[in-house]
Structure 1
Amino acid sequence: MTDHPADPGETQHTARIPDHSSLWGYVSQWRHQQPDEEAIVFEGKRSTWTELAASVETLVKSLRDCGVRRGDRIAMLSWQCPEFVITYLALERLGATFVGLSPRYKLPELAFLLQDARPRVVLISASLGDGLSGSSVAGELRENHPYVKTIVAMHGMFEGAIAFDELLVGRTDHSSSAPEPVGGACSQWLGEEEPPICIVYTSGSSGQPKAARLPNRSLLHNYRVGAELFYHKPFRTYNCHPIDHVGGIDRLYQTIMLGGVLVLDQRFEPERVLEQTETERLTYWLGEATQYIKLAPLFSSFDLSSLQVVRYVGPLPEEVLKALHQIAPVVMTSYGSSETCASLVFTDESTSLEALRDGNVGRPIEGFVMRVVDTDRNRIVGDVGELEVKSEWIFGGYGTETNAPKAPLTEDGWFRTGDLFKENGDGSFTIVGRVNDVYKSGGYDVHPTEVEAVLMAHPRVKIACVIGVPDSTFITVGRAFVVFQSAVDTEQLREFLRERLAGYKVPKEIVVLEQMPLLRNDKVDKNKLKHLEG
C-alpha cells in the first residue's frame, strides 16, 4: 500500500491570494491598493493599512537603533494588541525572531522561558493582571537576565523602561534606511539558513516547555494555502488567542494575506465576542471547542448574520454543531500544531454534520502527505494508529539557537505527531486522541476522545474530559470529569454510557465540576485534572 497526498482537485481552488515572500509584501500591497481601509481595530481605535505600514517602518528603524540585528530574539509579554502585530512585522523585516510570553505565567515560569530564549529586547504590557505587574517583571529582568539590553513598556509606564510609543516617534518614512525583507523568495529560505520568525513553546505536558522554531516560509505557505479554503471578501475576524500560541498568530497571517480587518481583544469573554461580531460585522470565527460550548447558548441574543465561516478545533457536541450551522453558511474544522506550522488538514462544505461529530478533520492541504501507521510503522487504513506527516513546510526543530538540532524526523523523513488518527476510505482523516492519552483497562485500549464524545452527546452535559487513573484490579480505569448544563444523576449518566459503549470503556468514576480547568489557549488542562481527587 503506497502513501499518497490528497487529490488537489478535491480540496484546492484556483489561487486567489498572491504568493508574496513575506508578510511585508502583503502589507505593501494593501497600503497601495487600499491605503485608507481599516486594518486593525482595538478598544475603539482603528488603524488603516497606511498607518500600519508607517508604524512598522518606524519601529524597524527604532529597533535597529536599539541594536537589534538579524537572528536576535525579541520577547513580548502581553495580551493581543496592535503592538504585537506591528512588532511581529518589524521583526520579519529585520530577520529577528519573535518570542511570545503569556501574562498567565508566574514569575518562575517566565524566568525559565527568558533564560532559555535569552532575548535582547523584552516588551512588557503595564496592564497584565492575574497578580503579575510590568514593574515586577522588569525587576526580574534587571536582576537576573543581563542579556536583556532594552525593556519596553506598553499600555502604561514603569521604572527602567522606555515607552513603546517613543519607538514610533520620528520620521514617517524610513524606507531609505529600513532593510529589505530578508531572504528574497520563499523558495530560497531553506532549512535553518534563515532564523525562525518566531519561537513557540510547547505546553510541556511531558516535562519543561520545548522551544519550537517556526520558519516564516512554512507559516506563509501553510496559512496562504489554508486561507484559500475559506476565502471570502470582505474578511473581518476576531482574535483573542494568546500571543505565545500558534493560534495567536493565525489570524494575523490570514488577515494580512486577505487584506481584511483584524479585531483584537485581550481575553475570551463570550458576551464580548458576540458583541464584537454584531457591531464589527465579523465574517470569520476561529476558536477552541470549549469556547464554542460557552458561546452557543447566547447565539439567539445577538445579530450574527454577518458570519460566513465558522472554524473550530477540538470535538464538539452535536447540538453545538447544529447551532453553528444555523448561524454560518460554512462550518469547518482542522488539525495542526506548532510543529506543523499551523493547520495542515481541513474539512470542507461537503463534510457532513455526522462526520464532524465523529471527529473527521478532512484532507491534507497542498504540500503535505499524511499517513496513519501501526506500531511497526506500516501504513494502515480504517484502523487507529499514529499520524505521521511528511512535508518541507514544518517546523525547524526544537531549541532556540539557529544551529540547534533540526526537526526530529524518522530515517525515511516522516515527522511523528504523537496523535492517534484513523485514515478513512475516502482519503479523509479522523482524529482519535493523543498516543499518551490512551490507557489500557483490563487489557483493552480505551481512547478518551471516544468516551468524551458519547458523554457530550448527553443533552445535559456541557463539557467532559476522560483520563486514565490507576486501579488495583484493572491496572487502569477511566475517570470522567463533567460540567453539567443542568443537573443529572451520575448513575443515570453511567447508564447512558453503558447503552452506547462496551463495558470496559465506561469510566469507573464520574466527577462533577462547577468549571473545567483550562490552559491559557482554552484547551482542557488535563495535568490539573490528574491531580484532582475523584
Structure 2
Amino acid sequence: MNLAERLRAAAERLGGRTVLTLDREELSYRALEVMSARMGVLLRRRGIRPGDRVAVMLPNVPEFAVVYYGALRMGAVVVPLDPLLKRREIAAYLDDSAARLVIAWHAYAETVEAGTAGTRADYMFVVPGEFRRLLRTMPPDHDAAVRAADDTAVILYSAGTTGRAKGIELTHANLGSNADTAARMLALGVDDVVLGALPLYHAFGQTCALNATIWAGGRLTLLPRFEAGRALEVIRRDGVTVFHGVPAMYIALLDQPGVSDLSLLRVCASGGAALPLDVLRAYETRYGCPIIEGYGLSETSPLSASNRGGAGRRVGSIGRPVREVEMRVVGDDGRELPHGEIGEIVVRGPNVMKGYWNDPAATAEAVRDGWFHTGDLGREDDDGFFFLVDRRRDVIIRAGYTVYPREVEEVLYEHPAVRQAAVVGFRHPEVGEEIGAVVVLRAPASAEDLRLWVKERVAAYKYPRRVRFVDEMPTSPTGKILKRALGLTFTVPDDAGGPLAQARNQPS
C-alpha cells in the first residue's frame, strides 16, 4: 500500500482535469502524476532510498504536491516542516529525524543552509521555473515502491506547545483511511473546488485538503498565506465549494465588510481548535453556509470525530466518531465514565499514529491498549455526542475550584467588542492559580467592562480578575492560540512590558 498510488489512479481516470490551482497557474492530474514520477527518480539519483527521511519546507504551492507524492512514490518518508522555521529549529528537527535531504523554497535558502550545517542533511532549493526544467531531464518512473500498510509515510512534528516537539509517525494506512473518511464526510466529488488555505505541512491541510481532494478527484486552489479579503476573492474567482478553516480564519472572515454572493460555497469545515459558538452562529447567519466542526489531533491523522450537518446535529458538540473510529471518556484509572461525566477523551481506530519517532516511552504513555490518550477533557451525552470541555493542561484550579477556560472564553466571545479571547491561569500566592484573560478587541471596551460582563454570567470564582489587551494573539500554524506564551504576560508587573513583543499590553 502506497499513498501515491491514489494519485496515479486519479490521473488515469481524470487525465487533463485540473487538480491544483495557484492564481493563473494550473496543474492537471496527468501533469502532477508525471512530475511526481520524475521527482521520485530525482530523489533516487540524489541517493535517497526507501525509508530515508526527506524534509520538505515548502509553502502552499503546486511544488509541494509534486515533492510530497514523488517522495512517497519512491518509498521515502516525508518530514514536512514549517517554511518559517529558524536555523536552530531546522537543525533540531533534522537531527531528530536523521533526514538525508531538505527540499526547501528558494526564499529560505540562507536559513536552510545555516540550519543544515553540522547535520547529515543535504539540501536543494525549489525555484519554480528551474525546478520544472530539472524535472524534465528525469525519466518518469510511474511504479510506486511497495509499502506495507503500517510503513511510515510521514513524520509530523508537533507544535511543541508543552515542551520539546515530538515526531508523530503516520503510516500510509493512517493517511489513506483518514483522507477517504474526510472525502466521504464532506461528500467531495469531481466538481468540487476546495480552498487550500491551511498549511499543507500540517495534518489538517495535508489530509483534509490535499489528500482528500485527490482521493475524490476534485480541485484544490491554493492560498500560500491566509488573508480574509484575499480568501474571499479566491472563493469567488475560482468557484470554491468547500472551505477548510481554523477558528481564527472564520473570525477574520466575519470582520470583512461588504461580502458579495458566496452561493457556490457548499460546505465549510472547522478544526484545529474549538470554534466559539458565537462565531459559528454569526458565520452561518451571514454566509448561509453550514460549518461542520471536526475534532482530532495530528496523532489521529487528524480526523477522529465530526459534528455532521442535518437534523441530528448538536450545536456546541464535536459530534460522533467518524467511520471506523471509536471514542470514549475515561477517568484517571482508564475506566470508561458514565455519560455526562467529564474525563479524558481517548481514541482508537485506523487513524491512530504508529507512535512517536524514536520515543518508545512517550508512545507507551500516549497509546495504551490501542487507545490514544488525547489530553483533552470532554463528556459524552446519552445519544453518543461528544462535547469538548478543555485541554487537561489548561484547566485552572482556583482556591480548590475547577475552572474550564473554554467556558469563560465562550462568555467573552458573546461580548460585541471581543474579536478573540483566551483565558489562562497564572500563579497567585493566596488562591494558587488566578484567572486572567487576554483579549483582542474589534470595538472599544475596558477591562472593567469585560470583567463585569463575565461576572454577571458565571459563578463568582470563574470570572477573570485581570484582563490584558493585545493587538494579535500568538498562534500555532493551525491557528491554535499559544496559551503558554499568554500565561507569561501575567507574571510581570502591570507597568512592565510582557514577553509578547508584538503585543500592546493594557493592564487592568
Same fold (TM over 0.5): yes
CA distance in 2, matches of 1:265, 1:407: 38
Q: Which residue of 2 aligns with 1:287?
A: 245
Counterpart code for 1:469 = F
Alignment of 1:110-125 (within 5 A): 110-125=90-105
CA distance in 2, matches of 1:104, 1:511: 28
Is it true that 1:349 corresponds to 2:329 in the alignment? no
CA distance in 2, matches of 1:228, 1:312: 16
Contact 1:41–1:263 under 8 Å retained in 2: yes
Aligned with residue 396 of structure 1, among 324, 348, 354: 354
Aligned with residue 496 of structure 1, among 445, 453, 456: 453
Please list every run of 5 or more consecutive structure 2 residues that lacks an aligned counterpart in the other structure: 491-506
Is it true that 1:134 corresponds to 2:118 in the alignment? no
Q: Which residue of 1 aligns with 2:132?
A: 165
Deviations 1:349-378 (A, max 9, x none): 13688x43x3x1100012211111122333
Q: Which residue of 2 aligns with 1:16?
A: none
Runs of 4+ deviating beyond 6 Å: none
Structure 1 residues 317 and 330: CA distance shift in structure 2, 3 A: closer
CA distance in 2, matches of 1:352, 1:427: 11
Q: Which residue of 1 aligns with 2:501?
A: none
CA drift at 1:436: 0.5
Structure 1 residues 201 and 136: CA distance shift in structure 2, 3 A: closer
Deviations 1:374-419 (A, max 9, x none): 2233322102111111224310111159x99856456533221111
Structure 1 residues 30 and 389: CA distance shift in structure 2, 3 A: closer
CA distance in 1, matches of 2:124, 2:187: 37
CA distance in 1, matches of 2:84, 2:260: 30
**Helix, strand or coil for the counterpart of 2:255?**
helix
Identify which range, 35-44 or 321-330, moves more after superposition: 321-330
CA drift at 1:77: 1.6
Counterpart code for 2:171 = P
Q: Which residue of 1 aligns with 2:437?
A: 480
Contact 1:23–1:256 under 8 Å retained in 2: no
CA distance in 1, matches of 2:233, 2:358: 40
Q: How does the TM-score come out when normalised to structure 1?
A: 0.86
Identify which range, 419-428 or 404-413, moves more after superposition: 404-413
Is it true that 1:432 corresponds to 2:404 in the alignment? no
Deviations 1:433-476 (A, max 9, x none): 11000011011111101110111011221110000011122111
Alignment of 1:452-531 (within 5 A): 452-531=409-488
Structure 1 residues 216 and 293: CA distance shift in structure 2, 3 A: same
Aligned with residue 298 of structure 1, among 251, 256, 264: 256
Q: How many residues get paired? A: 486
CA distance in 2, matches of 1:265, 1:75: 21
Q: Which residue of 2 aligns with 1:327?
A: 287
Q: Which residue of 1 aligns with 2:127?
A: 155
CA distance in 1, matches of 2:49, 2:418: 53
Contact 1:397–1:408 under 8 Å retained in 2: no
Is it true that 1:53 corresponds to 2:33 in the alignment? yes
Structure 1 residues 104 and 26: CA distance shift in structure 2, 3 A: same
CA distance in 2, matches of 1:352, 1:485: 34
CA distance in 2, matches of 1:404, 1:154: 37
**Helix, strand or coil for the counterpart of 1:522?**
coil
CA distance in 2, matches of 1:432, 1:382: 12
Is it true that 1:209 corresponds to 2:165 in the alignment? yes
CA distance in 1, matches of 2:128, 2:149: 38
Q: Which residue of 2 aligns with 1:180?
A: 144
Q: Which residue of 1 aligns with 2:407?
A: 450
CA drift at 1:181: 4.1
Q: Which residue of 2 aligns with 1:10?
A: none
CA RMSD of aligned residues (A): 2.2
Percent identity (aligned): 28
**Helix, strand or coil for the counterpart of 1:244?**
coil
Contact 2:88–2:115 under 8 Å retained in 1: no
Q: Which residue of 2 aligns with 1:4?
A: none
Counterpart code for 2:124 = V
CA drift at 1:66: 1.3
CA distance in 2, matches of 1:258, 1:406: 33
Contact 2:234–2:240 under 8 Å retained in 1: yes
Contact 1:333–1:346 under 8 Å retained in 2: yes
Structure 1 residues 441 and 124: CA distance shift in structure 2, 3 A: same
Structure 1 residues 512 and 317: CA distance shift in structure 2, 3 A: farther
CA distance in 1, matches of 2:449, 2:307: 35
CA drift at 1:422: 0.9
Counterpart code for 1:209 = A
Is it true that 1:36 corresponds to 2:16 in the alignment? yes
Q: Which residue of 1 aligns with 2:369?
A: 412
Contact 2:105–2:125 under 8 Å retained in 1: yes
**Helix, strand or coil for the counterpart of 1:214?**
strand
Please list every run of 5 or more consecutive structure 1 residues that lacks an aligned counterpart in the other structure: 1-20, 128-132, 158-162
CA drift at 1:298: 1.8
**Helix, strand or coil for the counterpart of 1:116?**
helix
CA distance in 2, matches of 1:171, 1:144: 30
